[in-house]
Amino acid sequence: MEERNKLDNHEWYQPNAPVQSADEQLDIFEDAGLYRVKSREELYEKNKPKRSKGVMIAVLVIALLIGAIALTAILFSEDDSSGNSANDFYDAYKDYYEQYDSSEITGENDIPRADTAPDVELELHDTAGLTALTLQELYAKCQPSIVGISTYVDGEAYSWGSGVIMTADGYIITNTHVLDGADEVEVIGYDGKTYDALLVGADAISDIGVLKIEAKNLAAAQFVDSALVQVGDDAIAIGNPLGEQFSGTMTTGIISGISREMTYNNRTMSLLQTNAALNSGNSGGALFNIYGQVVGITNMKMMGSFTSVIEGVGFAIPSATVKEMADAILDDGAVVGRPGLGIMVYAMGGATEEYPDGMMVNSVYKGSDAEKQGLTAGDIIVEIDGMAAVDIEVIRGVLNEKNVGDTVNLKVWREGETIEIKVKLIDQNDF
């Protein structure tokens, strides 16, 4: 049964970029034994070519850039190897990057708050009557709608991410995890203009946060209903990977999958999948269709381990989810009232000789009614309110028709026996 478990959380991450100087990168390389200036000089001293000072500086800058990109690929990967320099590298970074542990989105920060705005809503459009844009036309149209998000703690640079302009008067959508732990946020426009930002709200479950800046006549992005998206559609990401020096980067690909159920932060997120390149700093940026409309907010990518390589598996929060969460945040400063079972599950993927098809319980949250009713890890939910629980969409569909405090009827397979359990739904913010 363990063989069928979900992907390990540490094999993928949410690509916000911790701020780190070139000197800090070199120090940690040296501490890990991966870059030793003395040994490098000794190795090449005999045949060292003569270079001008300017060329040497250029070479050093390129080397640092390559090193930074390599760090991005390794820092958020799981260490599956032993007895090699990769272990030393991982150990050298473990403590330094503990605060950026991607296994949890807390939604906790000390950013000054903005007033709520119940009269503001995110509008979703369709594609009727639109003409496909060239990539050059799309970039010219959409790039002004993307901003940089720079966060600070006690006046010190903390992390870097991206954001999407929602309204011309300064409401900005980004990822909650970009804002985690910060006490100050600065928004940088495509033209380099900077704004102090206030927080309307940040939801840890959906990973959607809303900021407010004092501005007028901004280039607001147009959002399309993600229900219209199909596998194979063009997908164009615009964001700020690796820091401000690469702000406004565009990468292209397709929609590789829809409704990808990714278990992360102890929650199941239904995401769009794309092969458009995403890197640290893209978090909170936009995934566009070929008409220049936002289909999703980029928030994570799959990474390999030291023993495997994964390329081109990125994810974005669908625009329909973004609208639901952003509107709730604008109304109340938070998202409340989402009913949940208080458990984490994953799909069995079909019946076998040993197990029925359904959703296996991976964990049960303490204090939930599910725990009180005896639901436990290893149980397989085969029905919910009379419907076959073959995937998470069935469970989500039932819960969407319920309120916090309502009950659902579960038919559960446990060690060869089928039992029935009634569970009272709780607010997802409570677990």
* Residue 262: predicted pLDDT: 78
Which H or E run includes 263? strand 249-264
Beta strands, E only, 89-218: 124-125, 146-153, 156-165, 171-175, 184-188, 194-203, 208-212
Stated length of the chain: 431
Residue 85 near residue 33 (C-beta atoms within 8 A): yes
C-alpha span between 424 and 407 (Å, rounded): 4
What are the residue ranges spanned by the domains of the chain?
A: 18-100, 124-332, 339-430
Looking at CATH, the fold of the domain delimited by 124-332 is given as Thrombin, subunit H (2.40.10)
242-263 pLDDT per residue, tens: 888 889 999 999 999 998 877 7
Tell me phi and psi for residue 320, to 5 degrees.
-65, -40
Average pLDDT over residues 57-66: 51
Give catalytic residue positions.
177, 207, 283
DSSP-derived secondary structure letter, 343: E
Residue bearing the bigger pLDDT, 286 or 76: 286
Percent over 90 (pLDDT), the chain: 56
In which residue are the tokens 């076998």 written? Answer: 352
DSSP-derived secondary structure letter, 64: H
For residue 337, give both structure tokens: 């009232």
Task: Using the predicted structure, report yes or no on whether residue 87 has a pLDDT greater than 50.
Answer: no
For residue 245, give both structure tokens: 């020096």
Q: Which CATH superfamily is domain 339-430 in?
A: PDZ domain (2.30.42.10)
C-alpha span between 221 and 143 (Å, rounded): 9
For residue 422, give both structure tokens: 């009634």
* DSSP letter for each residue of 83-102: SSHHHHHHHHHHTTTGGG-T
Tell me phi and psi for residue 241, to 5 degrees.
-70, 145
365-424 pLDDT per residue, tens: 898 999 999 999 999 999 999 999 988 888 888 998 899 999 999 999 999 999 999 999
Residue 424 near residue 369 (C-beta atoms within 8 A): yes
Q: Which of 302, 203, 229 is nearest to 262 (CA)?
A: 302
Mark out the alpha helices in 21-95 (DSSP H runs): 22-31, 37-44, 53-75, 85-94
- Tell me the CB-side half-sphere exposure of residue 402, using CA atoms within 13 A: 23
Residue 10 near residue 78 (C-beta atoms within 8 A): yes
Whole-structure pTM value: 0.71
pLDDT-derived band at 353 (thresholds 50, 70, 90) equals confident
